[in-house]
Amino acid sequence: MSSKMKQTFKMTALAAALAASYGTALADDDEKAALAAVAAEVSRLTTPESSVSVGIGNWSGNRHQQGIYDGMREGKAYGLLDLTLVKRDNATGTWFSLEGRNLGLDTPELSAEWLRQGDIGISLDYSRIQRDNPLTFTTGLLGIGTANQIFSGTAGANTLPSRDVSLSTKRDLTQLGLYKNLMPHLNLKVSFKNEEKNGARQWGLGSNAIFLTEPIDSTVRQLEAILDYADERLQISGGYYGSWYDNANSLVLGYQNGLAISAINANPTNPTSLSLPLGNQAHQLFMNAGYAFTPTTRGTFKLSYGKATQDETIPVAFNVAPATAAPSNLNGRIDTSLAEFGLTSRPLPKLSLVANLRYHDVKDKTPVAAYIGPGPSGGGTTLVYNTPHSFTKTSGKVEANYRLPQQFNLIGGIEINNQDRSVPTRSTVSGAGVNTYSVPFRVKLDETTYRLQLRRSLSDTLNGSLAYLNSDRRGPGYVPTGNNPASNSADLVNPTHIADRKRDKWRAMLDWSPTERLSFQFAVDQAQDKYGPGNRPYGLVDGSADIYTIDVNYTMSDNWQVSGWYTRDDTKAREVGALLPISATTTRDAQLREIGDSFGFGLRGRPSAKLQVGANLEWVKSVSQYPQTLNGAYTATTSGGVSLVPLADINNKLTRLKLFGDYALDKNSNVRIEAIHERWQTDDWTWSFSTGAPFTYGTTTDGTTVTANPKQTVNFVGARYIYKF
């Protein structure tokens, strides 16, 4: 059932209740007028309104950065077509709706629904998500978007001609839904989704600066079936969820320049093999329930079990020496179990309690085996194994809310998370080598969070709250990786997700309405993180995050409203690292910082009964800072043959102004005019050299360059005709 239908039914029931209430409560001369008003509202809510919007809009120029997802990347004219068709049969309570959005663009959305209220319903939805890469690639690469690609050098007779290439992906999602009431209080819901993803994505080799593209040609299918039962005290739902992922390609073969195009498949001379995600599937059974033990006490329960497998044959790579007797199938399997119980109660008129206990277990049952190493023909010196990882997480939370005198509310709680984690086992095969790993592991990780909040209604027009959270995460020592710290930094790194961390967070909110027409909302969030280094000095040391927001709304008159908002966020992190070979003289200290400022202003008005106008202004600025020192110096320096150059700030700015006017031609038709001014600019150096020249992949092996327009200023003008019936 769509959200629009749910809202309509809810409002219809409310209007009927109001009609019944007014019908018995009113006993004066205004009774007929009140009943007529309620009847008109009931008629409005139960009489569906349909509309069609047809128009055209034009962007004055390319907007590769802001047009990544909206299907209007290029500067040209676009068709604007939206529709809403709703019909209702009052005799049977049957609804039919057809809704379409962006039907003239590359990002259409279309949904249809047929519903007989309280009995049966069918829905069909289609949508497309387009993702256009904002970068432009000037390349000679052949076979873009396919599994066989040829890259060329920048010198010699074998160089392939270059051209500008834009990469994009699209997801086409089709969903079919079924709703059926089987008996009183029991409903069946079935949903099937099919998503086709196609296109090409920026890619490359890990061992060489060579530009390739990842061919996207995959299908994801999802099936969900749920039985819902609900009465006054018990609500329970359970069912099945399954997903299947299929990839049309398993390997990408990259060929050196000079190989004849016709010989790609016939004569694979020394190609470079790159693997792609293999097919997999997952199945889950689940149940959720809630039961009201008493009018003031309610319990909830969740239970699920899932199994994910990956059993597709592993493709044979040309440039990798397989281990002797390496399995042809990963035989991957992960089992997931979840059990959760919650309880809410009001034992005293002024006291409310919430408790929750959760158990989550992830078991990776994939067999450990050697896949790369000294094969029958030699090559390679060390066996490489897969590293399955399992963990069990037990968590619990208790929270109490007590109403104090003087309209104060005191809220306190504690949450405990305990995680047991697996550590990969080392294996030996015929004495050929020992599997070591370079990522530190911890077998146990515990985190406790305390929360305290004070809320108060300061007056009829002023409300505020202040909250404090303290979190402490820690665990026993790290399991040695088996690598030599003198030549590998792994044993000295404190990984962010498992490092000891202490977090303090404050949040203050204030809601002030000095008059009926004017309101303010203020909010401040501040957080401080500290990571315990212990005997592992490298990684994050500390960090902080500050967010300040203010919203203002003012109703100048019945026909004019104005609003505004401002937000500032400031995030900092200090990271200490090392350059190889590790020594006390090659310490890198980075003080990372991200600052964002955003401002918005909105105006809505109705100069006349037929004309409505509005304006929205958005301004956003972000600054990314990367100050770093090598051996305590901020200037360009070299140590152990490694050069560290100070990195410049990256500034991004966006200004967008939207204007619209809506004029009613008659009772059923409107004309809407829209105008947008959009300006985006950046000094991002990510895809450029220090000289400002575009980044180039392997000047002697490839030559592909990457460029982006640092300033994009465009305007949009559109007109729509809207007919309602």
Nearest to 412 by CA among 338, 459, 353, 363: 353
pTM for the model stands at 0.84
Contact 244, 232 (CB under 8 A): no
Buried/exposed code over 220-254 (b: 16+ C-beta within 10 A; e: otherwise)? bebebebebbeeeeebbbbbebbbebebebbbbbb
Residue 654 has what pLDDT?
A: 97
Q: How far apart are alpha carbons 158 and 68 in whole angstroms?
A: 35
Residue 204 has what pLDDT?
A: 84
Q: How far apart are alpha carbons 433 and 714 in whole angstroms?
A: 60
Buried/exposed code over 299-323 (b: 16+ C-beta within 10 A; e: otherwise)? eeeebbebebbbebebeebeebbbb
Model confidence band, residue 623 (pLDDT cutoffs 50, 70, 90): very high
Q: Is the pLDDT of residue 693 over 90?
A: no
HSE of 108 in the Cβ direction (CA atoms, 13 Å)?
A: 18
Strand, helix or coil for residue 374: coil
Residue 635 has what pLDDT?
A: 59
Q: How far apart are alpha carbons 202 and 211 in whole angstroms?
A: 8
Instruction: Over range 412-418, report the average pLDDT.
Output: 97
Of 374-388, 483-497, 508-522, the range with the highest mean pLDDT is: 508-522
Buried/exposed code over 619-628 (b: 16+ C-beta within 10 A; e: otherwise)? bbebebbeeb
Whole-angstrom CA distances from 173 to 40, 114, 248, 679 are 40, 20, 17, 32
What is the sign of the dihedral through the CA atoms of 631, 637, 643 and 648? positive
Query: What is the residue-wise DSSP string for 125-188?
Result: EEEEEEEE-S-EEEE--BSTTSSEEE---SSSTTPPPPEEE--EEEEEEEEEEEEEEEETTEEE
Contact 118, 98 (CB under 8 A): no
Contact 498, 442 (CB under 8 A): yes
Q: For residue range 128-147, what is the model confidence (pLDDT) as tens digits?
A: 999 999 999 999 888 999 99
Whole-angstrom CA distances from 492 to 489, 502, 538, 579 are 5, 20, 6, 12
Q: For residue range 338-352, what is the model confidence (pLDDT) as tens digits?
A: 999 999 999 999 999
Residue 371 has what pLDDT?
A: 82
H or E stretch covering 38 = helix 31-46
Q: How far apart are alpha carbons 662 and 722 in whole angstroms?
A: 10
ω into residue 581 within 30 of 0, thus cis? yes
Contact 134, 64 (CB under 8 A): yes
Whole-angstrom CA distances from 232 to 1, 239, 291, 343, 515 are 22, 22, 9, 17, 42
Instruction: Over range 333-362, report the average pLDDT.
Output: 96
Higher-confidence residue: 678 or 701?
Answer: 678
Q: How far apart are alpha carbons 69 and 645 in whole angstroms?
A: 35
Instruction: Over range 581-586, report the average pLDDT.
Output: 59
H or E stretch covering 504 = strand 501-512
Q: For residue range 16-39, what is the model confidence (pLDDT) as tens digits?
A: 444 444 444 444 556 766 776 676
Strands (DSSP E) found in 328-486: 332-348, 351-364, 370-372, 384-385, 391-404, 408-421, 444-457, 462-474
Q: How far apart are alpha carbons 359 and 355 in whole angstroms?
A: 14
- Average per-residue pLDDT in the chain? 86
Q: Is the pLDDT of residue 660 over 50?
A: yes
Model confidence band, residue 478 (pLDDT cutoffs 50, 70, 90): confident
Asked which of 52-56, 260-264, 302-306 is least confident by mean pLDDT, the reply is 260-264
Residue 10 has what pLDDT?
A: 38
Q: How far apart are alpha carbons 422 and 441 in whole angstroms?
A: 8
Model confidence band, residue 230 (pLDDT cutoffs 50, 70, 90): very high
Residue 638 has what pLDDT?
A: 56
Q: Is the pLDDT of residue 441 over 70?
A: yes
Share of the chain above pLDDT 90, in %: 62
Whole-angstrom CA distances from 513 to 312, 517, 604 are 62, 8, 20
Whole-angstrom CA distances from 466 to 404, 510, 513, 525, 611 are 15, 9, 19, 10, 44
Q: How far apart are alpha carbons 319 and 137 in whole angstroms?
A: 27
In terms of residues, how long is the chain?
A: 725
Residue 13 has what pLDDT?
A: 43
Residue 242 has what pLDDT?
A: 98
Residue 84 backbone class (left: φ over 0; alpha: ψ -120 to 50; beta: rest):
beta
Higher-confidence residue: 488 or 458?
Answer: 458
150: Cβ contacts below 8 Å, ≥ 6 apart: 141, 142, 143, 160, 254, 255, 256, 257, 259, 261, 264
Contact 166, 132 (CB under 8 A): yes
Facing residues of 612 across strands? 662
Contact 104, 71 (CB under 8 A): no
Asked which of 208-217, 463-472, 676-685 is least confident by mean pLDDT, the reply is 208-217
What is the sign of the dihedral through the CA atoms of 116, 120, 126 and 129? positive
The two counts, helices (H) then strands (E), for the chain are 2, 39
520: Cβ contacts below 8 Å, ≥ 6 apart: 510, 511, 512, 513, 514, 550, 551, 552
Whole-angstrom CA distances from 417 to 334, 394, 395, 396, 452 are 22, 6, 4, 7, 18
Residue with tokens 């088996």: 482
Asked which of 117-126, 250-259, 711-720 is least confident by mean pLDDT, the reply is 250-259
Q: How far apart are alpha carbons 37 and 18 in whole angstroms?
A: 11
Question: Angle between the 31-46 and 3-25 helix axes, to the nearest 10 degrees?
Answer: 160
382: Cβ contacts below 8 Å, ≥ 6 apart: 373, 433
147: Cβ contacts below 8 Å, ≥ 6 apart: 215, 249, 251, 252, 253
Strand, helix or coil for residue 456: strand
Residue 457 has what pLDDT?
A: 79
Q: For residue range 63-113, what is the model confidence (pLDDT) as tens digits?
A: 999 999 999 999 999 999 999 999 988 888 899 999 999 999 999 999 999
Residue 21 has what pLDDT?
A: 45
Asked which of 30-39, 168-177, 200-209, 224-233 is least confident by mean pLDDT, the reply is 30-39
Query: What is the residue-wise DSSP string for 217-269?
Result: EEEEEEEEEEEEEE-SSEEEEEEEEEEEEEES-SEEEEE-TT--GGGTTT---
Facing residues of 414 across strands? 398, 450
Map 630-683 to HEC letters: ECCECCCEEECCEEECCCCCEEEEEEEEEEEEEEECCCCEEEEEEEEEEEEEEC
